[in-house]
Chain A
Amino acid sequence: MDSMLHTLSIAQAHEKLQKKEISCTELTKACIDRAESVDKKLNALVYRNFERALEEAKKIDAEGEFTHLLTGIPFVVKDNFCEKDIPSTGCSNVLRKKDYRPPFESTATARVKAVGAISLGKGNTDEFTMGASTETSCYGVTRNPWDPSRVAGGSSGGCAAAVGADECLFALGSDTGGSIRQPAGFCGCSGLRATYGRVSRYGVMSMASSLDTVGPICKSVEDIAIVLSTIAGKDPLDGTTGDVPVPDYTKALHGDVKGLKIGLPKEYFIDGMDEQVEKAVRDAATQFEKMGAVVTDISLPHTEYAVATYYVIVPSEVSSNMSRYDGIRYGHTTDAATDLIDYYHLARTEGFGDEVKRRIMIGTYALSAGYYDAYYRKAQKVRTLIRKDFDDAFQNVDVILTPTYPTPAFIVGALEGDPIAMYLQDIFLVSQGLSGMPGMTVPCGFTSQNTLPIGLHLTGPQWGEDTILNAAYAYEQAMDWKEQKPNL
């Protein structure tokens, strides 16, 4: 029994901790042992904070109070989150070479630590979150717990693989255009991208500031609600956080979807889609109907322009955000420079990987004199239309149901040298990023041949996390997908 503690959900572990059936030290040790035994295969963790985690666990056991659901719960946080005095590198050589240790703590990690959650270490990510496979990480690719020849997805691939392989009970990730939801789906987890401004990004390395969000990756929908309730809310340190009250999201999980109006957008069922993925999602829609929901076909007409819009806006904001990595205040340095301009060139050239350079250059070009209107401004106008599609749809439906991705996890290296094929990985996920809507993925089946998880995606209106959480919860309770575990 004890050796399986790492497989517990947050809610299950909390109950055992509170009843003193298990200690926080035992739980933490179980996760550490699991990570020690499987992470060589997966490369989910890029920094291990195990000693400090065990010290924290002892302290919590000594106090013996498990007042909050997250007290004593071990978690992993994506490497683009700053943790005070702990290496935080965004998986980029720009910060890794000097092993950047921030003198401050991100709000999201501070909030879960304040109630006693225990940080086990940092999860692998594509360099500064730019990618859909963790293949651009300076620490190498994270492999999928369901099939180590395949990617775990990205950019929060380390977090998703760690949760999927039971190396921790939950993880904190970030999502700009799919970076929580795609890897969570690839690894058979639940993952939520909150409404833009629902969770503070203070202390999280910026990629595209008008889209970046923070959210949880968990083993169950209930756990997502627990973590979101803890990290959400206004933060004076992030001016984009909305002054909207934070409900206790666990109270929204009543599991009743009678009369819930669900829309299936025709633009998300496209040629080239994996047949099993399409079938799993349509079966899920049928399941919702059985439970009393009303499913209708809808249209989001500007869907086909979402990836193009995203790949103008994001690189533009990247080129601006990456300018802070100049080797002056932190990060990679060099002795070879002849003057200051040369120093900037060398520090950045040696530090950044190809995908970051690619986006910096596209953004630099798109924002340069004479091209701004044709690219950035045009994309911002199309972004308005994409958001309007969702606003119009939510006049008639409560939840939009789609696949999380057109095809399950791909083989490591399969998309190497084809940036556009990689960008199209997030074809079903960038629209929610652009429109600021919350979205989440839950497992909805497995492929028959190679048993790869399939993800079901639910989108709600802005600030409507409670609605999608309840719908996902109702579906999850009716099925037993989350009980299946990878054979590692």
Chain B
Amino acid sequence: MNESILHVLLLPTSNAECRMIFSYHSFCFVISFYILHAEFCISRMFFCILQGIMTTLNHDDVRHIAKLARLNLNDEEVKKFSTELSNILQYVEKLQEVDTEGVEPIAQITGLTNAFREDEVEDSLIAPEDLLSCSPLPVVEHQIQTPSAHG
């Protein structure tokens, strides 16, 4: 069982508890704790599975997210962000307390829908050459030359 699934099932409710789960030696103790509190454990489990959330991010999770975001992290940063991001996720978990049954999500706060304009040709505000000159990379035939996509 990988660590992420373990988190969903065991639902650590605090940092201290997370650290206990990470520790193999404490594992049996935690399991017995949850067996003793089976009712609580099962309801939390279904809650989290239904909501599809994890409240801690382990080192592999952080590495994966950083890769998606095109960021490199060294081991020390992975460790630091794993703690910090988990704390933030645990903080925002309080949103799950709010009953949003039947509530529409809001994206445009003043109620605008579309912003149309007349279909008229207008002069460009900025010369393409001026925009290209902002690039730190070589410009060849009005195009920016990037490193190769194939290595």
Chain A: number of interface residues, binned into ranges: 35 or more
Q: Is A479 on the interface with B (CB-CB < 8 A)?
A: no
Q: Are A197 and B69 in contact (CB under 8 A)?
A: no
- The A interface, classified by DSSP as helix, strand, loop or mixed, is helix
Q: Is the interface of B mostly helix, strand, loop or mixed?
A: loop
User: B115 near A240 (CB under 8 angstroms)?
Assistant: yes
Give chain A nearest CB distance to B25 CB in angstroms: 29
In the complex, whether B6 has a CB less than 8 A from a CB of chain A is: no
Complexed CA–CA distance, A341 and B151 (Å): 9
Residue numbers in A under 8 Å from B53 (CB-CB): 371, 374-375
> Chain B's nearest CB lies how many Å from the CB of A361?
5
Which chain B positions have C-beta within 8 A of A419?
Answer: 84, 87-88
Contact B70 A341 (CB under 8 A): yes
Q: Mark A349-370, 1 if CB is under 8 A from B, else 0.
A: 1001000011011101100101
* Residues of chain B lying within 8 A (CB to CB) of residue A341: 70, 149
> In the complex, are the beta carbons of B126 and A197 less than 8 A apart?
no
Q: Does A331 contact B (CB under 8 A)?
A: yes
Q: Is A190 an interface residue (CB 8 A)?
A: no
Q: Are A352 and B96 in contact (CB under 8 A)?
A: no
- Chain B proximity of A369: nearest CB distance (Å): 10
Smallest CB–CB gap between A423 and chain B, Å?
Answer: 8
Interface segment, A68-76, A118-126, A157-165, A307-315? A307-315
Q: A151 to nearest B CB, angstroms? A: 20
Which of A8-16, A97-105, A451-459 forms contacts with chain B?
Answer: A97-105
Whose C-beta in chain B lies nearest to the C-beta of A242? B110
- Distance in angstroms from B125 CB to nearest chain A CB is 6
**A305 interface neighbour in B71, B95, B147, Cβ under 8 Å:** B95
B49 to chain A, nearest CB (A): 11
Is B23 part of the contact surface with A, judged by Cβ < 8 Å? no
Contacts of B140 in A (CB 8 A): none
A7 CB → nearest B CB, Å: 37
Q: Which of B82-130 contact A (CB under 8 A)?
A: 84-85, 87-89, 91-98, 100, 103-110, 112, 115, 117, 125-127, 130
A378 contacts which chain B residues (CB < 8 A)? 95-96, 98, 100
Interface flag for A337 (CB, 8 Å)? yes
In B38-72, the 8 Å CB interface with A consists of 51-53, 57, 61-62, 65-66, 68-72
| B interface residues (Cβ-Cβ under 8 A, vs A) | 51-53, 57, 61-62, 65-66, 68-73, 81, 84-85, 87-89, 91-98, 100, 103-110, 112, 115, 117, 125-127, 130-131, 133-137, 144, 146-151
Q: Knowing that A307-B91, A375-B95 touch, tell me 7 more A-B residue pairs with CB under 8 angstroms.
A: A210-B109, A309-B95, A329-B135, A339-B150, A345-B72, A361-B62, A380-B107
